[in-house]
Chain A
Amino acid sequence: MNPGSQAVRAAGGPIRLRLQVNGHRREVDCFPMARLLDVLREGLGLTGTKEGCGEGECGACAVLLDGVLVQSCLVPAVQAQEASVETIEGLRGPGGLHPLQEAFLEAGGTQCGICTPGMVLAALALLREEPDPDEAAIRAALAGNLCRCTGYVRIVDAVARAAARLASGGPPS
């Protein structure tokens, strides 16, 4: 895909980027204006974060940057210097999968799967803010993540199920 051409390099030579990714300290050399998406996928091999549009519209590349949901295709690498990044690869739960991932499976919230990592992270950001969201809150929180397969019905259901499960078993990790 188009990583932004020479503009990426025009902004200065490579830097050593130091960041926490899914709780682990990582270092990677990259251009300061490289997209965080490319740093994760190519620099660190974390391909669970997807590219759908490259302009911040679809949410497939969503990750948490210092706990805040961002579109990693719009975040320059330099902005992640000394930051903490959470990606789909970092999610865990008692049974291996995080309760949100389990709920997406059970509820039918994943079809082709390409939007799923971003959706799960958007849902995680919501549940940390609002552990007991109603349907309107869930739909609002996911409105930056496009899904072409499901019509969102079962994704909304999955988030509600995960919220209920987490409410009975403590806050989301």
Chain B
Amino acid sequence: MGPTCVGQGVPRKEGEAKVAGRAAYVDDLRLPGMLHGVTVRSTAARGRILAVGFGDGIPWDELVVVTARDVPGVNHVTLLDTDQPCLADGVVNHWDEPVVLLAHADRHLLEEARRRVHVEVEPLPAVLTIEDSLECRTVVWGKDNVFADYRVERGDPDGARRAAVHVVVGVYRTGAQEQLYIETQGVIAVPEPEGGISVHGSMQCPYYVQKALGPILGLPPERVRVVQTVTGGGFGGKEEYPSMIAAHAALLARKARRPVKLVYDREEDIQATTKRHPSRTWHRTAVDAEGRLLAMEVDFVIDGGAYKTLSPVVLSRGLIHSTGPYRCENVRLRGRAVATSAPPHGAFRGFGAPQSIFAVERHLDRVARDLGLDPVELRRRNFLHRGDRTAVGQEVREEPDMEGLMEKALEESDYRARRVACRRARERPGETVRRGVGLAAFYHGSGFTGSGEVHLASVASLECGPEGRVEVQASSTEIGQGTSTILAQITAGALGVDYRLVEVAPPDTDRVPDSGPTVASRTCMVVGRLVERCAGQALEVLRAEGLLPGGGHDDAQFVEACRVWCARHGPLRTHARYEPPPGIRWDPERFQGDAYGAYSWAVYVARVAVDTLTWETRVEDLVAVQEVGRAVHPLLAAGQVEGGVAQGVGFALYEKVVWRGGRVANARMTDYVMPTSEDAPPIRVHFVERPYAHGPSGAKGLGELPMDGPAPAIIAAVEDATGAALDSVPLLPEDLMVAMEGVIESR
């Protein structure tokens, strides 16, 4: 074997095209005869559609008009359920629900036409909050507004609570958060001969789009071709919504018999597409005199919006992470995803875990405060160790060494000295800026929850050509996180060849197998393992044929071996299908077992400065220490952490979705504010590398982990700085001002 490129900072495969401005995103593509499409949406949170009127002054006969009546197959977007219509028919269940589609070659005329379509709606009562939904006075979904209701029970929480020295109760909330990928959602649909369709667009999961389009168009999967174009960010927001917009473009293209481009503007994207689920979490925790966790009870509720979409799986991940990386033998957890009249909430980096981890980390700080214990010490006394069981009864098989990660984070951030210094500074009269430090300890499961990976049964393939060129074939998409680079690295490493010999095929359902969706921090660990196995098989085949020596080879030998093989047999192709690591079992009925094949572990420390005149909070330093197995590409891995942290800073301090009657009132970048280069803190990233036996080259999942820690660490730091009891995010200056009124009055 040659020297491996895993662990090296090789150049990004698609990097040069991106920095040169040559990378072609969907809106950069123009096809001959192409029309543009727009969507007419509902203007009420809930109601009956009485009429759709087409106003004067528009040459309607020149436009392609599509309504629910034009759907040739089923009028729903298939995901976990079939409740979400592709186009509203008779009723609308949220603001900005798609009702009518229009296409024309002239974008200016089209925009005028959109404004002249009037959807007349007779309003019905709407449900706008989690509390309203649970109260069930108005039922907007099913019998009781509940999409999913999961319960977990281990040990004897009631007995443990009765015997406890302290019982601490708290309620914590997180708001909706917009993914805010800088490239908005968009696709181009092209009618193909004999009624087939191809769709090119910005997306995370080409096979999800294919599965949704077939039933809507009444086509078998092989007649629906889905190709990912260069994608300008996803973060979960392009997991399921592309199925909707692709279906719309496809309906227009079929009716028009011409290609149709449908690209959202920013306002439409924010108003109509999914966001992070708002959450409310209740904790009741029983501890002994030393602060050991005797019983943890959690009631975790997320607002799923008007349709089920992915809410049950967001719920299950959130619930499983709701007790954090702590040992507790007596647990009772309940998780519910409930319906409201908001546009459906969906996947966003972390997928339920940032919500429940915010709650448990804030709650542990409250427990520490009530007990007069240091938050560091409370955590140290309760961390999980090898052999312990998680809330869902999963035995921890790796040694997490959370103490080691925490110690590293405390050292790097100079936490102890800073905490004392901040306290002293706050006591000085006349200080208008108060500083504080806070930490969060957390873990994040890699890959699909429970038996999800077994059901997905993902496949990847490898093809070696006559010139020794190797092509990785997988449906895992490059969305900025580095898929094309790391899959090539893992393959080159396993083949023992130069990274430059390996390319990753563009995801195209006509060319690549279904390696599952690009979600859940699964691409590196799960799909990476598949391509590593493909590479191993290719080597075995070449060795068995006597074309490669058993002990090792150089690039020239590999190229020659491929040349001879291809001359004899044609291109060398290998495939691998997912196999779970040995001993993994999940019981979906009891919600018990091995929820994830592996976890990544982390401790983050934040230092903040709060201006007591304006109540603005700045994060001055953020130390992120994590164990993610082996970092395949340390530079890209650090970039994942830094990007996730910045989104976490936004989740904590900047990004507030303002709802007015069920509609987003701040659907612009002007008033939905994400961190700029001047707001994002210095982010100091440290990896503790401990190779994972079942990951490619020892890697585990990484992408979502850094979203979990910043918000609880930052809010803990603000609490340290101000003395206010803070239990929700986002915490904007006005929110802190209100929270401080109580503190100031009580002095």
- A residues with a Cβ closer than 8 A to B are 1-3, 5-6, 8-9, 41, 47-55, 57-58, 60, 87-89, 91, 97, 101-102, 104-106, 108, 110-117, 120, 138-140, 142-156
Contact = CB atoms under 8 A, between A and B. Distances in A.
B19 A150 contact: no
Interface stretch (B271-279, B456-464, B582-590, B666-674): B666-674
Given A57-B669, A112-B182, A146 B674 contact: yes
A60 B182 contact: yes
B638 A108 contact: yes
Nearest to A136: B678
Interface stretch (B81-89, B503-511, B642-650): B642-650
Q: Which 7 A-B pairs have the closest CB atoms?
A: A48-B21, A112-B480, A114-B232, A113-B18, A88-B21, A151-B646, A151-B642
B479 interface: yes
A42 B407 CA distance: 55
A150 B642 contact: yes
Contacts of A60: 182
A50 B23 CA distance: 11
A110 B635 contact: no
Interface in B645-667: 645-647
B22 A97 contact: no
B264 to A, nearest CB: 8
B479 A3 contact: no
A148 B638 contact: no
Interface stretch (B43-51, B107-115, B398-406): B107-115
Interface in B123-148: none
Contact of A143 (B18, B28, B234, B677): B677
Contact of B678 (A5, A139, A147, A150): A139
B678 A113 contact: no
Contact of A112 (B479, B676, B680): B479
B25 interface: yes
20 contacts: A5-B111, A47-B24, A47-B27, A50-B27, A52-B266, A55-B266, A60-B182, A91-B20, A105-B11, A105-B19, A108-B639, A138-B677, A146-B674, A146-B676, A147-B182, A148-B235, A151-B642, A152-B677, A152-B680, A153-B638
Nearest to B671: A57
Nearest to B645: A151
A1 B235 contact: no
B14 interface: yes
A173 to B, nearest CB: 15
A57 B669 CA distance: 6
Nearest to B481: A111
Nearest to B670: A57
B487 interface: no
Nearest to B23: A113
B15 interface: yes
Contacts of B578: none
Pick the most buried of A6, A57, A101: most chain B CB atoms within 10 A of its CB: A57
A110 B12 contact: yes
Contact of B14 (A3, A54, A113, A153): A113
A6 B232 contact: no
A2 B19 contact: no
A110 B235 contact: no
Contacts of A142: 676-677
A114 B233 contact: yes
Nearest to B678: A143
B266 A112 contact: no
Contacts of A152: 642, 646, 676-677, 680
A156 B181 contact: no
Contacts, number: 179
B647 A148 contact: yes
Given A105-B15, A110-B18, A148-B235, A47 B28 contact: yes
B668 A111 contact: no
B482 interface: yes
B301 interface: no
A68 to B, nearest CB: 19
B259 to A, nearest CB: 16
Contact of A51 (B12, B27, B643): B27
Contacts of B22: 48
B167 to A, nearest CB: 39
Given A54-B266, A104-B19, A114-B25, A154 B182 contact: no
Contacts of A106: 11
A108 to B, nearest CB: 5
A84 B232 CA distance: 28
Given A52-B183, A115-B182, A149 B674 contact: no
Interface string B508-536: 00000000000000000000000000000
A161 B18 CA distance: 18
Among B182, B669, B682, max chain A CB count under 10 A is at B182
B263 interface: yes
A49 B182 contact: no
B78 interface: no
B181 A148 contact: yes
B674 to A, nearest CB: 6
A53 B668 contact: yes
Given A53-B668, A139-B678, A151-B645, A112 B639 contact: no
A114 B19 contact: no
Given A55-B670, A112-B231, A151 B680 contact: yes
Interface string B152-188: 0000000000000000000000000001111110000
Given A47-B27, A146-B674, 11 more contacts: A6-B108, A48-B21, A54-B265, A88-B21, A89-B20, A97-B16, A97-B20, A138-B677, A139-B677, A144-B676, A151-B639
A93 to B, nearest CB: 11
Nearest to B669: A57
A1 B184 contact: yes
B99 interface: no
A49 B28 CA distance: 9
A154 B482 CA distance: 15
Residue of A51, A148, A150 with most partner-chain B CB within 10 A: A148
Contact of A113 (B232, B234, B263, B680): B232
Contacts of A50: 25, 27, 182-183, 232
B564 interface: no
A153 to B, nearest CB: 5
Nearest to A152: B677
A43 to B, nearest CB: 12
B683 interface: yes
Contacts of B14: 113
